Amino acid sequence: MPDPGRRLVVPLDGTIDLSHADIGDKAWNINRMRALGLPVPPAVVATTAYCRSYHAAGGRLPDPLWQRIVDQMWVLEAETGRSFGSPSKPLLVAVRSGAARSMPGMLDTVLDVGINSAIESALAAETQDPAYPADTHRRFIEAYRHIVLGMTDAEVPSDPWQQLRGAVEAVLASWNSPRARAYRRHRGIPDDGGTAVIVQAMVFGNLDDRSGTGVLFTRNPMTGEGPSFGEWIVRGQGEDVVSGRADPQPLAALRELLPEVHAQLMDMAVRLERDCGDIQDIEFTVESGRLWLLQSRTARRSPRAALRAAVSMVDKGILEPGTALERVTAEHARALLGCVLDRSRLAGAVPVATGHPVCEGVATGVVVLDPGEAERRAGAGEDVVLARSSTSPDDLPGFIAARAVLTEHGGSTSHAAVVSRELGRVCVVGCGEGTVTSLAGQQVTVDGAGGVVWLGEMPLLSIEDEIDPDLARLIDWAQARVPLAVRRHAPAGSIDELTVLRLVGLKRRIAPEMAAHSLGADRDRLDAVCLELVEHGLCTHSGSGLRLTPDGRRRLSILLAEERMNSDQAVAGRLYREFCGFNGELKQIITDWQLRDNATPNDHADAAYDQAVLHRLRDLHERVKPLLDRLGDLAPRLRRYAPRFGEARARLAEGDHTFIANISKDSFHTLWFELHEDLLSITGDSRESEVAAGRAL
């Protein structure tokens, strides 16, 4: 493999063999799209090693390093037939960031680099339209002042090469910006990776009335349904859509204006989804009726979209069932089985705002307008909802702190929408001028699925036991793999009515083979208990496994109440407080694992990241073992947690990483959730009181 240290700047021509860690996710995908023969503007990339060299030099760009980019600009000139820095057929470029793991909006990008008054005049003469180059020049000056110079009234250099050098340095420096560092801390991303810098020929969505820019998802990121879903803006550039400052039109508007371009875009979307085997988030520009793809990446999606897309892709032959199981995490499944608004009790209630739903769920909190205030008040234990006219990457701390995010402008592909889906934050965008910022200081309930904001705290309702059909199919696939998962059994143990009902209640549906494995039970004894439960109408048993009936749920509630009354509450309280001390750490480890980039499994940087997360999980398990060993002092049935966690730890040691967070197995995440529920039950506590007391980290 070529040494990336010697190849600091390379053309993205579809042939380079460097990894995500070497050239970043964005450049890797540009190179892949060019290899597929798709229409992508020519580009060169300065590798992440280039970025590390810049920071090793004290955050400055030495002349030899800068010259590497200068020497590669001929690639863009040769492919476009234009010249950078010359009024004769001038070439303008975009300078884009692109880390190995996508950091949406956290790093800087500068568009329209290379324009000045002379080149503006040359472009006006070439197109016979002074409006487009004037608009382009204005956009460049505003962006350069804000991103590169940090001052709105600073003088922008007229020399295109000086502009380019400044833009490259700004992108490199943004790797260590406060927002980027905060994002990496929150996501567990190492600080030493660096960002690649992509220098790409500009294509202009603001050229004329047959031009525009947009974002397309190959499936709806809220629902997972096809066909493609997206938005676009006529006579705009990419930042117009992403920032949310402008309200875009649906892709149907592109179909009406340019039907051939729309058809071409749809064909490419299908091709990219099949090639990648996942929902794609595609940025595109149309320049005077000609389609260009700027970026394609794995889309951030809601839990419902993750489930629906995984099942649909199996039906279409894109994925195998085993891969679909890995796509849907235990956290996804629990989110789908969470509480919803009790709409029967909303009669007469009038929404105070409505907009585009972009991340489902229900959240209640006090509306605040400033991200810093959201961070401070949330840190003090208050539930807050962040409301903004539109959002920017600098708002990230507020996103992390808030229970929900609201915006007045922007669509379903805006920065606010993308980041909220990634963080799993309830979000509604595009509510209209003055609608949500006027609610400052008031308590609201946000319905992320319906795109509605209500005043006050609205009543919630638990989802009925009727399971989502897609989730049922996923469970069926999981149970088909159970024989492989239960070849190694824990020592047989005693089981009773409560033990089995509680396990079925937590799993919602479980095959007898998996129940025997989880309980460490003799299969004949388990079958006898299950038969009694079915005969007494407490469970149903079909080909998909055991489920509780309404009578079974009532019986389980009675047995759990009896267990609580017979438990030593002093012991229960100590064990629960000890558990809470580990809870936040475990959740962060699971989050860091689920957000890792699996696209390059042989990549050394990804492997190092994975090993770091696994080491943290192993270390946590060692520290939790004394707690697990004492659970039997509280209730005999809890003794099974120690060997179940030990089994998960052993499988991880053997290299089976599905035992970190897999809904179909006794993974670390699944067991932690079940233990949490059991401790809450025995102490008589609830998740709601945890949140109110600030114990739910």
In tens, the pLDDT along 239-269 reads 777 666 677 899 999 999 999 999 999 999 9
* Domain membership flag for residue 481: yes
* Domain membership flag for residue 324: no
Distance separating alpha carbons of residues 91 and 194, to the nearest angstrom: 28
Q: What is the mean pLDDT of residues 637-660?
A: 88
What mean pLDDT is reported for the chain?
Answer: 85
Q: At what angle do helices 569-594 and 668-683 cross, to 10 degrees?
A: 150
| Through-space distance between the first and last CA atoms of the chain, rounded to whole angstroms | 44
Is the same domain home to 558 and 574?
no
- Per-residue confidence (pLDDT) for residue 256, from 0 to 100: 95
For the chain, give the longest Cα–Cα distance. 88
pLDDT tens track for 108-129: 999 999 999 999 999 999 999 8
Is the same domain home to 29 and 65?
yes
Of 179, 201, 223, the one marking the end of a domain is: 201
Categorize the per-residue pLDDT at 458 as very low, low, confident or very high, splitting at 50, 70 and 90: confident
* Domain membership flag for residue 483: yes
The two three-digit tokens of residue 158, written as one number: 């007229």
Residue 103 has pLDDT above 50, yes or no: yes
Of 512, 535, 565, the one marking the end of a domain is: 565
- Per-residue confidence (pLDDT) for residue 327, from 0 to 100: 79
Is the same domain home to 546 and 575?
no
* Domain membership flag for residue 486: yes
Is the same domain home to 253 and 385?
no
Share of the chain above pLDDT 90, in %: 39
Is the same domain home to 24 and 145?
yes
- Per-residue confidence (pLDDT) for residue 348, from 0 to 100: 75
Strand pairing category for 93-99 and 110-113: antiparallel
Categorize the per-residue pLDDT at 492 as very low, low, confident or very high, splitting at 50, 70 and 90: very low
484: CATH: 1.10.10.10
- Per-residue confidence (pLDDT) for residue 688, from 0 to 100: 63
- Per-residue confidence (pLDDT) for residue 607, from 0 to 100: 72
Instruction: Give the containing element (helix H, strand E) for 486.
Output: none
- Per-residue confidence (pLDDT) for residue 487, from 0 to 100: 30
* Domain membership flag for residue 206: no
Of residues 133 and 425, more confidence is placed in 133
221: CATH: 3.30.470.20
Is the same domain home to 452 and 478?
no
Q: At what angle do helices 63-80 and 160-173 cross, to 10 degrees?
A: 120
* DSSP-assigned letter for residue 657: G
Backbone angles phi, psi at 324, to 5 degrees: -60, -40
- Per-residue confidence (pLDDT) for residue 339, from 0 to 100: 67
90: CATH: 3.30.1490.20
* Domain membership flag for residue 4: no
Is the same domain home to 190 and 58?
yes
The two three-digit tokens of residue 207, written as one number: 């050229």
- Per-residue confidence (pLDDT) for residue 540, from 0 to 100: 87
Is the same domain home to 597 and 551?
no
pLDDT tens track for 273-299: 988 888 999 999 999 999 999 999 988
Of 180, 201, 222, the one marking the end of a domain is: 201
* Domain membership flag for residue 127: yes
Categorize the per-residue pLDDT at 661 as very low, low, confident or very high, splitting at 50, 70 and 90: confident
Share of the chain above pLDDT 70, in %: 90
Is the same domain home to 561 and 573?
no
Is the same domain home to 577 and 542?
no
* Domain membership flag for residue 3: no
Distance separating alpha carbons of residues 122 and 101, to the nearest angstrom: 39
Q: What is the mean pLDDT of residues 537-550?
A: 82
- Per-residue confidence (pLDDT) for residue 196, from 0 to 100: 96
Is the same domain home to 134 and 233?
no
- Per-residue confidence (pLDDT) for residue 138, from 0 to 100: 95
Residue 413 has pLDDT above 80, yes or no: no
Classify the C-alpha dihedral 359-334-587-98 as positive or negative: negative
Categorize the per-residue pLDDT at 689 as very low, low, confident or very high, splitting at 50, 70 and 90: low
Least confident range from 367-371, 382-386, 431-435, 662-666: namely 662-666
369: CATH: 3.50.30.10
Residue 489 has pLDDT above 50, yes or no: no
Write out the residue range of the structural domain in which residue 293 sits.
212-298
Is the same domain home to 180 and 77?
yes
Total domains in the fold of the chain: 5
Contact (CB, 8 A) for 44 and 23: no
pLDDT tens track for 152-193: 788 999 999 999 999 999 999 999 998 888 888 877 788 888
- Per-residue confidence (pLDDT) for residue 583, from 0 to 100: 87
